[in-house]
C-alpha cells in the first residue's frame, strides 16, 4: 500500500515529479496516486509547478515537450520565509 509519505519523499528526491513517474516508481494505479496528490496539495505539503516557468525559463517555445505539456508537475511546498 502506498502512503502519502512515500509520495512526498519521492517528490523531494526528484525535486519535482509528475503522475506518470510517481505511478511507475510506486507501482500503483494513476487514480490512486492522483487522489493522494490532491490530498497532499490540500494539506499544503506539495504544490503544482507553474508550467509557464518550465525548464526553458520563460516560455515553452523551445521545449521538446511543448506539444504534450498538459500534465502537471508537483514539488514540495516551500515554507514561508521569516521576516
pLDDT in tens, 9-56: 999 999 999 999 999 999 999 999 999 999 999 999 999 987 655 555
Rounded CA separation 57/31 (Å): 31
Detail the DSSP E strand segments found in the chain. 17-18, 46-48, 73-76
Q: Is residue 56 part of a domain?
A: yes
Q: Which domain holds residue 62?
A: 4-76
Rounded CA separation 5/15 (Å): 15
- Do 38 and 2 contact (CB within 8 A), yes or no? no
Binding residues for iron-sulfur cluster: 54, 60, 63, 69
Distance of CA 29 to the CA centre of its chain: 16
Q: Is residue 82 part of a domain?
A: no
Q: Is residue 44 part of a domain?
A: yes
Q: Is residue 83 part of a domain?
A: no
CATH number at residue 9: 1.10.10.10
Q: Is residue 81 part of a domain?
A: no
Which of 7-16, 61-70, 71-80 has the lowest average pLDDT?
A: 61-70
Give me the mean pLDDT over the 60-65 stretch. 56
Binding residues: 54, 60, 63, 69
Domains in the chain: how many in total? 1
Amino acid at each position: 500500500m502506498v502512503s502519502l509519505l512515500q509520495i512526498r519523499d519521492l517528490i523531494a528526491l526528484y525535486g519535482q515529479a509528475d503522475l506518470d513517474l510517481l505511478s511507475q516508481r510506486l507501482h500503483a494505479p494513476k487514480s490512486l496516486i492522483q487522489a493522494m496528490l490532491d490530498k497532499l496539495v490540500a494539506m499544503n505539503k506539495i504544490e503544482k509547478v507553474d508550467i509557464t516557468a518550465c525548464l526553458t525559463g520563460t516560455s515553452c517555445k523551445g521545449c521538446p515537450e511543448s506539444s504534450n505539456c498538459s500534465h502537471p508537475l508537483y514539488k514540495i511546498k516551500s515554507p514561508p520565509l521569516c521576516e
